[in-house]
């Protein structure tokens, strides 16, 4: 790579799910459940989840039939059951590191169910990833989570 650059961004995404916090949290903490909404669950690619402080989450796949392999590699830093997750992660496109992030996910009880607040502080590297791509990808995952949970409000 001939040049190096960094772009910093903080995003906050909120969603309201018509399910109790315990159920929404379980969708994040059980490997079989998370595989479905997080990585598409179509059987293509690799997915692992060791859900504990110090545990690792790994997803590796191609996107939309492309040739590039994307790897998401996370490490859980803090877990408060049914209330909070904090993890660090990096993403690769093939062998190139494209971003590094710190993310928190809060599960807040709400009269309508659970208000999820995801905050990600990202560093996007060398123009290989961009905040708007990440925002779009996470938004799609959160919509898939809504579908997984039943989608009723």
Q: What does the pLDDT read at residue 36?
A: 92
Is the pLDDT reported for residue 40 higher than 70?
no
Is the pLDDT reported for residue 3 higher than 80?
no
Which one is predicted more confidently, 145 or 62? 145
> How confident is the model over 124-149, as a mean pLDDT?
95
Q: What does the pLDDT read at residue 1?
A: 47
> How confident is the model over 16-25, as a mean pLDDT?
97
Is the pLDDT reported for residue 141 higher than 90?
yes
Q: Give the chain's length.
A: 153
61 Cβ contact list (under 8 Å, min separation 6) = 39, 40, 44, 45, 46, 69, 70
For residue 143, is it left (φ>0), alpha (ψ between -120 and 50) or beta?
alpha
Q: Is the pTM of this model over 0.85?
A: yes
Tell me the pLDDT tens digit for each residue of 41-77.
555 689 999 999 999 999 998 877 788 999 999 999 9
Which residue is listed with tokens 């490490």?
Answer: 75
SS3 42: coil
SS3 149: helix
Tell me the pLDDT tens digit for each residue of 87-132.
999 999 999 999 999 999 999 999 999 999 999 999 999 999 999 9
Convert 122-135 to b/e letters by CB count within 10 Å (16 or more is b): bebbbebbebeebe
CA distance 135 to 117: 13
């Amino acid at each position: 790579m001939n040049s190096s650059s960094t772009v910093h961004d903080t995003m906050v995404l909120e969603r309201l799910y018509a399910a109790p916090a315990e159920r929404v949290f379980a969708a994040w903490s059980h490997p079989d459940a998370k595989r479905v909404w997080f990585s598409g669950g179509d059987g293509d690619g690799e997915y692992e989840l060791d859900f504990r402080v110090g545990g690792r989450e790994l997803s590796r796949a191609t996107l939309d039939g492309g040739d590039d392999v994307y790897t998401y590699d996370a490490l859980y830093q803090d877990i408060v059951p049914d209330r909070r997750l904090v993890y660090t992660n990096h993403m690769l496109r093939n062998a190139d590191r494209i971003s590094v992030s710190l993310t928190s996910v809060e599960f807040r009880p709400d009269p309508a169910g659970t208000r999820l607040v995801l905050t990600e502080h990202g560093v996007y590297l060398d123009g290989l990833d961009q905040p708007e791509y990440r925002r779009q990808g996470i938004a799609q995952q959160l919509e898939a989570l809504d579908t997984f949970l039943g989608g009723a409000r």
